[in-house]
Structures are given as structure tokens and as C-alpha cells.
Amino acid sequence: MKAVKITEGIYCLPVNLESYKLFEGMWPMPNGISINSYIVQGEQTALIDLLEDVGDKPADFDAEMASIGINAAGIDYLILNHMEPDHTSWLPVFHARNPAMKIFLTGKAKQLLKDFCGIDNNVEVIKDGDTLDLGKGKVLTFYETPNIHWPETMMTYESSSGTLFACDAFGSYGTLNNVYFDDQLSTSQHDFFINEALRYYANIVSSFSTFVSKGIQRLSALDIKVIAPSHGIIWRENPQAIIDSYTRFAGYLNGPAEAEVTVIWSSMYGNTEKLVNNIVQGVRSAGLPVHVHRVPDDHVGLILASAWKSSGIILGMPTYEYEMFPPMAWVLDMFRRKKIWNKKVLRFGSAGWSGGAQRELDQLTEKLKWEFIEPIEWKGAPTDIELDLALKQGRLLADKVKEFCAT
């Protein structure tokens, strides 16, 4: 493993987490994820962010530092943009090798540093706009960016190179293997990282979209030539591409999102399932893209990305013991937590012998600012009446989406 040179005196130290892990203990990452730390060298040396203490990853990190002639003892400053353990759980071990290095962080991060790592010595609390001159023209400026996506988060900007060390903002899933920069990507690889950025955003950042929009606006005056996130590809050819993507993702909160429809369905004995094809055909008859997910087969982490991007959502679920089918209730609760707001929505499903799913759905989505059209619900098995209605209501929902997105 070798450090990756970004520009003179600035290096990335990427470490990959493989696909078998769940990010944050719950999100699938079939293509893994990178954790990126950075070295900035002037007359003094700063390390920006660290990594998770898992498996042999610290040994990989040590090898990357050694490839540019650095070890822990040679670090003058440790810049902690973010205290989440995927960036700091190895810090107690690393700090023990060099307890004299000075740690720079925000005021809110200081207590977290003590709580998570037991460290409170040689700590420098920054104020927004503070600078650190490393010599040889390398100057770091610190910008507090709270709630992107923890309250103590900041970003660090190196002015001579125009590099923004963006922490968890502008990140994505996906490991880095011999390709580290956007200018090295094929078209398919570029599309892959943008799509993985959307999924990462929906899973990790979406709840904080208002803060993302504010942060992007606040940093807009900087001459950003390189975006170096804590996860995913480094953007040096066209950093505006990932800025624009995140701006767009954040804008989905208040809508409209894209003129697309996500169908999420579940079925116990096939009665709700019988309407799925007709629902999809109804949407497609309006010429809109449609994404279909079955619960619980598809993980909610995958569903969130599709739902966040779509202006229309169709929910197919039966009643289960007077309430919503439990796997769908989990999805809807996650929608509440991640603020899947401002959607046009249709619900369909078998009422079993009693009904009740619609009542619980209304309760779970009360604060999501959804506009529902008339649901399709029946007792027992569907008839031709429900099958015909599925075509009509699927088309009606699609037309509502088109009208919404045209505003």
C-alpha cells in the first residue's frame, strides 16, 4: 500500500473496508467503502482525519505513511474534522505513539474526543475561519459545518492547492483500487460513483439536507480545485460535479425530486402481489421511469436511495394483525427518520379480513408532507375491478408526479 499524491506536499492515505461489513452497523455496501485520511506537508506536517481500528487496516495505514517517509512521531498536527468512530477508533493507539502532537477540532468535538478516546491533552479548539500555517505556503483554514452529519463536524481548506478536505460531505460508497481521482474514471465508473454517492447520501446524510444546503452555500466563495472527501473518489478534474450532485440531492428534501416513481411492495400470500404488474404498467404508460423493490427481500438501505430520488412513491402492503405488514412498517419508520418528504403517494394492498394497514400508514407518515391519492384496498383476493383500478391509479399517480416536477 502506498500513499496517493494529490499535489506537491498533499497525499491521500486510503484504506478500504470490504463489502462484508455493514456501514454504521446497518447499511449494506456491496462494493465496500474507502476511508480516506490526508497528509499536508509544509515545514510542519498535518494529518487530517484517521481511520477505524478494524482488522489489518491500521497496518495498511502505517505502510502508506511509510511510503512517503512518515510515521506517527513525525506528525505535528492532527486535524479531526469529525469524531465518528470510522475516523477515530484507532486514535487512542495512534495518539499513544505521539502524545505531543497537537489536535485541532471544534468546540463540540472536544468533549467527544474525551468521551470516545479518553484524550484531552494538547487539544486546540478552533473557531470558524481560524488558520494554521504549516510553512512552505501550506495554510489550512477551518470551517465549522455542523450537522453534516454530526454536530461537531468541520471542513478544512488548503489555500495554495485549493483543496477542500470535506469530511463526510461529498462522499460515496465504493472502494478505491488503483483509481483514485475523477479524471481516471471511465464513463461507467463515473456513473458508478455518482450512484454510490446518492445511496450514501440517502443512508447517511439525507436527514441533514437543510444543513448540507447551508454548508454548500457558505463554502461557495472558496476557490475549490480539489474535493477530498473522507469516503470515495477524490474530485480534482471537475469538483463541481460532486458539488452539483450534492446540491441536487439536498434539494430533493423539499421537492420536487426526479420525475420518477419508486414502487415498494410486500405480500404474504400473493394477493397484494397480484396488482404489482398493473401498477407498474400504469406508471410506465405515462412515460416515467419506475423502480421496483420488494420488502423484505431488498434492504431498506437500497430502497432509501430510490425513494429519495423519486417524486412519486407507491406502497403495496397487506394488513397484518390489524396493522401494517411489519417489514413495511420498518421501511416507513426509516422514511420518517431520514425525512423522505414531499412525495406524491399511492398505497394498495389486501385488507385481509379486517383492514388496519391504512390507519397505521396515516399515522407513520403524518409529518412527511405526502400527498396521497385514493388507495386501492380490498378484502381477501383482488378481482378484475382492483386489477383495472391498479392501471388507472398507477397512471394517475404518474401524472401527478409529472405535474409536480413541472412546477
User: Are 4 and 180 a contacting pair, CB within 8 Å?
Assistant: yes
How far, CA to CA in Å, does 279 sit from each of 349, 376, 389? 11, 11, 9
Q: Report pLDDT digits (tens) over 208-257.
A: 999 999 999 999 999 999 999 999 999 999 999 999 999 999 999 999 99
User: Could you tell me where the DSSP H helices lie in 118-231?
Assistant: 187-200, 209-219
Q: Give residue 67's region: left, alpha or beta (phi > 0; psi -120 to 50).
A: alpha
Q: Report pLDDT digits (tens) over 80-106.
A: 999 999 999 999 999 999 999 999 999
Q: Which pLDDT belongs to residue 343?
A: 98
Give the Cβ contact number of residue 163 at 10 Å.
Answer: 25
Q: How does DSSP assign 24-51, residue by residue? A: TTTEE-TT-EEEEEEEEESSSEEEE---
How far is 406 from 398, CA to CA, in rounded Å? 12
The mean pLDDT value for 171-198 works out to 96
User: Are 118 and 77 a contacting pair, CB within 8 Å?
Assistant: no
In the predicted model, is pLDDT for residue 341 greater than 90? yes
Residue-averaged pLDDT of the chain = 96
Can you give the length of the chain in residues?
A: 407
User: Could you tell me where the DSSP H helices lie in 233-299?
Assistant: 239-251, 276-284
- The helix/strand/coil state of 215 is helix
How far is 195 from 232, CA to CA, in rounded Å? 12
In the predicted model, is pLDDT for residue 20 greater than 80? no
Write phi, then psi, for 7 (nearest 5 degrees). Answer: -160, 180
How far is 395 from 7, CA to CA, in rounded Å? 53
- State the DSSP H helix or E strand holding residue 390, giving kind and residue range, or none if neither: helix 384-405
Beta strand ranges found along 87-205 (DSSP E):
102-105, 123-125, 131-135, 138-144, 154-158, 163-167
User: Are 316 and 279 a contacting pair, CB within 8 Å?
Assistant: yes
The mean pLDDT value for 65-73 works out to 97
Bridge partners of 227, per DSSP, are 164, 235
Q: Which pLDDT belongs to residue 398?
A: 98
Beta carbons within 8 Å of 48's beta carbon, 6+ residues apart: 37, 38, 39, 40, 79, 81, 156, 165
Banded model confidence at residue 333, pLDDT cuts 50, 70, 90: very high
Banded model confidence at residue 332, pLDDT cuts 50, 70, 90: very high
Q: Which pLDDT belongs to residue 143?
A: 97
* Domains of the chain with bracketed CATH: 4-251 (3.60.15.10), 260-402 (3.40.50.360)
Q: Which pLDDT belongs to residue 377?
A: 96
**Radius of gyration from C-alpha coordinates of the chain:** 24
Cell of 345: 403517494
Banded model confidence at residue 199, pLDDT cuts 50, 70, 90: very high
- Residue position matching grid coordinates 416536477: 405
Q: Which pLDDT belongs to residue 18?
A: 87
Give the type of residue at 253.
Answer: L
In the predicted model, is pLDDT for residue 407 greater than 90? no
DSSP character for 72?
G
Write phi, then psi, for 329 (nearest 5 degrees). Answer: -60, -35
Give the type of residue at 218.
Answer: R
Q: Report pLDDT digits (tens) over 344-358.
A: 999 999 998 888 899
